[in-house]
Each structure stands twice: as structure tokens, then as C-alpha cells.
Amino acid sequence: MALRPALAVFFTILFWGTSFTGIRMALDSFSPGALAMLRFSIASIVLWSIAIFAPVARPSLRDLPRLAGLGCIGITTYHVCLNFGQLTVAPGTTALLIQTAPVFTAVFAHFAGIERLRWSTMQGIIVALIGTAILVVGQGRTVEFTIAALAILTSAICTATYFLFQRDLSTRYGVRSVTTWTLTAGTIPLWVFAPTALAEWPDATPTAIGALVYIGVFPAAIAYLLWNWAVHELGASRVMMYLYLSPVVAMLSQWLLIRESPAPLAIAGGLVTVAGVWMVNRARTASK
């Protein structure tokens, strides 16, 4: 992988790997819908502030419904389902289910005729998913599949759809323009939670507000820009495989920031996950 896309993937995974902790901290003061609304309102402000100095392209009328649809799928539905799911679904189940996004991306890309799904690639995906499961169990988290877990699975399907079907739009309008328009389109429906957010804001703790600002600026605005650019450069199914590294980053960040030492089984799961990602990349290189 070239240096610039590699750096974009690295920083995105770094931001997204720490976002789950930020979401958990912010949920102490904000309800799921209000949190999603506030987070992506902040992200939209950041992106449109950038647009003041570097204007975004204006999409044609025929592409507006598609941009709006992608925003509603990848932003509105994904984050509302994720936030609501995290309230009732065990953290281990959440971490495991959200990591099915690369699987959905590979399958969707295959049936859409975008990229052929090879068995060697599927083997690496399976190994990475097994590694994630081992990591989750090694952290002492329980995994139980309930009706509420379907919300998390819906999130995984939504994010796969969002990143896979915007690549040609990014070619026409540019990555930053597509990111700005889709995030804005996905934020607008979230404003139904504005009254709730206004009611909850006065009682919010400084820690929760700080976490909200962080996940709005970095895991949302900046990370979506970087990830969309990497997807445009390398393809969705290839880049989405690196999502499996998010739990590894989360584990390392907990160790570095709050001195929560990972269990040996969790470390083993992280190594298996990394091996699975390596297998996929090796299979893709061999097929060229």
C-alpha cells in the first residue's frame, strides 16, 4: 500500500478505535439519538468550515437523491442503531457484530460486479473475524445474541453500503465534497432529536461534553474524510478489511491511557486478527 493511503487508514483506525470509549463516556449524559445528532452536527460544522476556504463541488440534481440516501444509510441509520444497540447489547457482542462490515462489503461488491470474491480472500476474512471473537472473549466480555443485537448488525450493513456505493460519486465530485454532502444529509434527519438534546445539555458533565466534541471532530469529520479518500484510492472491500484492527487499537489505547492490561487471550486474538488482515492483503497481491 502506498504511503498516503496507508497513513489515511492508520489515522482513521486510530480515531475509530478510540471512538467507542468516547461514545460510552458521552452516553453517560446524552441519550443515543441526541448524541448522534450533536456529534454529526459538530462534524458538519467542521466540514463546512473547511469549505469556506476550499469550496465543495455542487452535485447535479440527479445525484442529490443518491447522496441523500447514502447519508441517511451511512450516517443516520448507522449511528442511531449503533448508539441504541450499545445501551442494551453487551460490549463484546457489539464489537463482534460491527466487525462483520468487511464481510458484507466483500459480498456486496461481489454481487454488484465491483470485485470478485475469491476463496483465499474469504479465508483471511474468516480468520480475522475469529481473531476478533477471541479478542472479545479474552477481554472478559460476554457475547449473547438478542433481538437488540439486530440493531448492531444493521449498523454493519449500513456502513458497508455507504462506503461501497459512493466511489464513483467521489470520482465525479471529489472525496471531500461527497463526504461533506453525505454527512450533512445524514445529520438533517437526526435533528428530530434536537429537543431531547437541548433538554439534556444543561445536566451534561464536562467529561461527556469533551467526549462529544472529540468524537464529533476526529472520529466523525476527520476520519470520514480520510477513510472515504482511502476507499476512493484503493477500493471499499480492500480498505474495509482494516476495520478488523479497530478492536486491537481499542485494546492498546485502554492499556496506554487507563493502564488496563490486556489478558493473554485478548493479545492472542489481536495477533490472529492481524494475521487475517495480512492473509487478505497477501491474497489480493497474489491475484494481481
Q: What is the pLDDT of residue 89?
A: 66
Q: What is the pLDDT of residue 265?
A: 74
Nearest to 280 by CA among 97, 94, 95, 103: 103
pLDDT digits (tens, 9 = 90+) for 126-137: 887 777 677 666
Q: What is the pLDDT of residue 108?
A: 82
Say what percent of the chain tops pLDDT 70. 82
124-151 as b/e, with b when 16 or more CB fall inside 10 Å? bbebbbebbbbbbbbbebebeeeebbeb
Q: What is the average pLDDT across 264-269?
A: 73
Does position 166 have pLDDT exceeding 70, yes or no? Answer: yes
Does position 38 have pLDDT exceeding 90, yes or no? Answer: yes
Say what percent of the chain tops pLDDT 90. 40
Nearest to 237 by CA among 47, 105, 59: 105
SS3 139: coil
Long-range pairs for 124-127: beta carbons < 8 A, 24 or more residues apart? 124/241, 124/276, 124/277, 124/278, 124/279, 124/280, 124/281, 124/282, 124/283, 125/241, 125/276, 125/280, 126/276, 127/272, 127/275, 127/276, 127/279
**What single letter denotes the amino acid at residue 204?**
A
- Which tops the pLDDT comparison, 190 or 235? 190
Q: Dihedral, CA atoms, 72, 156, 33, 93, nearest 10 degrees?
A: 170
Does position 250 have pLDDT exceeding 90, yes or no? Answer: no
Q: Which residues constitute the domain of residue 48? A: 3-287
Q: Position of cell 468524537?
A: 215
The runs of H, that is alpha helices, within the chain are 3-26, 32-53, 64-71, 78-88, 91-98, 101-111, 119-138, 149-164, 167-173, 175-187, 194-200, 206-215, 223-234, 236-240, 246-258, 264-287
SS3 134: helix
Q: What is the pLDDT of residue 137?
A: 66
pLDDT digits (tens, 9 = 90+) for 168-223: 899 999 999 999 999 999 999 999 999 999 999 999 999 999 999 999 999 999 99
Does position 42 have pLDDT exceeding 60, yes or no? Answer: yes
Question: What total of structural domains would you count in the chain?
Answer: 1
Nearest to 22 by CA among 286, 235, 220: 220
Q: What is the pLDDT of residue 200?
A: 97
pLDDT digits (tens, 9 = 90+) for 51-104: 999 999 999 999 999 999 999 999 999 988 887 877 766 555 566 677 777 778
